[in-house]
Amino acid sequence: MLIRLRTFVEVYRQRSISGAARALDLTQPAISQHVASLEGAIGRQLFERHAQGVTPTAAADELAKDIGDRLDLAEAALATARARSAAMAGAVRIIGHADFLSEMIAPLLVPLLETGMRVRLETANHDGVMHSLVEGHCDLGLSASPINDRRLRSELVHCERVIAVAAPAVAARIAAAGDLVTALASEPVLAYNIEQSLIDEWLETNRLHREPVSPALVAPDLRGLRALLGVGFGWTVLPIYLCAAELARGDLVEIPAPIGPGTNSYFLVWLPAALRQPRIAHARQTLIRQLRHDLPLDAVPA
């Protein structure tokens, strides 16, 4: 019965027989047989088949609600238990934003590497992280944006203060101006993405309203923005972990915030089926433990 329930949960999440087959490493006929067997056991149809996939029936919605995440939690616990007595052979593929992986995640990998586990880091933006996890190209992901894909699970693992920064000369010009919004608009802005999400969040936190402006530079690695600031060009918003050393040396200066710094939240993301692999379950638990130690108490999951 357990394998039939696992199959049901995966088909329900994927809305696809073929997608569930890929996730569970089973054939499509095997998936269909498991679903049919479960339908026979409960006496109700669970899915309506169509060309684009499957649509859950009301009975499927009820069953999925009853199961919740219990099956995932049980399998994760079993995989973790196996990991305690099994060699951590094989590689774990972790994908995320380049700067966060390099500056924050890489130093935390020592406990995994010392067990003999091999780690492969890959870089991508938020959409790339989600796609790679869903398609099974990577095992664990890290993103600075919340997850809204029902096929994935995520956990808040790190919060970081973000501040507006510039080179001393640029920061001095901004500070000398009478109006902060006007002063910021007069200097080139550097952004992680064209939407300038990190910058807009800082502005919103400080109740600053500006006219739309095109960034002078867009780079999907915040270290590139930091390098350009270092030669005296423009301003941007960076997480503290990327500019603390530069602030201490005086290479960069914080642009005073009228209200205070913003906060950037980072999420560990995974496909539930991946946790059946002991090494992935172990890597996930290790990263959660390593990253969560500095979360605010009210942000730590119960």
* pLDDT band at 35; cut points 50, 70, 90: confident
Residues 140 and 190 in one domain: no
264, HSE (Cβ side, Cα atoms, 13 Å): 22
Of 67, 90, 123, the domain-final residue: 67
- Per-residue pLDDT for 81 more than 70? no
For residues 87 and 57, state if they share a domain.
Answer: no
Domain count, the chain: 3
What pLDDT does residue 80 have? 60
Query: Is 50 exceeded by the pLDDT of residue 298?
Result: no
Q: Looking at the structure, tell me whether residues 251 and 177 fall in a common domain.
A: yes
Q: 254 pLDDT band (50/70/90 cuts)?
A: very high
Instruction: Report which secondary-structure segment, H or E, holds 110.
Output: helix 110-113
Q: What is the CATH number of the domain that holds 55?
A: 1.10.10.10
Of 18-22, 118-122, 204-208, the least confident:
18-22
Mean pLDDT across the stretch 113-138? 93
Expressed as residue numbers, the domain containing 231 is 160-264
260 and 164 both lie in a single domain? yes
Supply the pLDDT for residue 85. 46
- pLDDT reading at 84 higher than 60: no
pLDDT for residue 7: 87
Give the residue-averaged pLDDT of 72-78: 64
CATH code, 210: 3.40.190.10
> Is residue 109 located within the same domain as residue 248?
no
* 94 Cβ neighbours under 8 A, 6+ residues apart: 101, 105, 119, 120, 121, 122, 138, 139, 140, 141, 142, 283
pLDDT-derived band at 223, boundaries 50, 70, 90: very high
Q: What is the pTM assigned to this prediction?
A: 0.70
The model's pLDDT over 143-171, given as tens digits with 9 standing for 90+, comes to 998 888 888 999 999 999 999 999 999 99
Considering the chain, what percentage of its residues have pLDDT values greater than 90?
Answer: 56
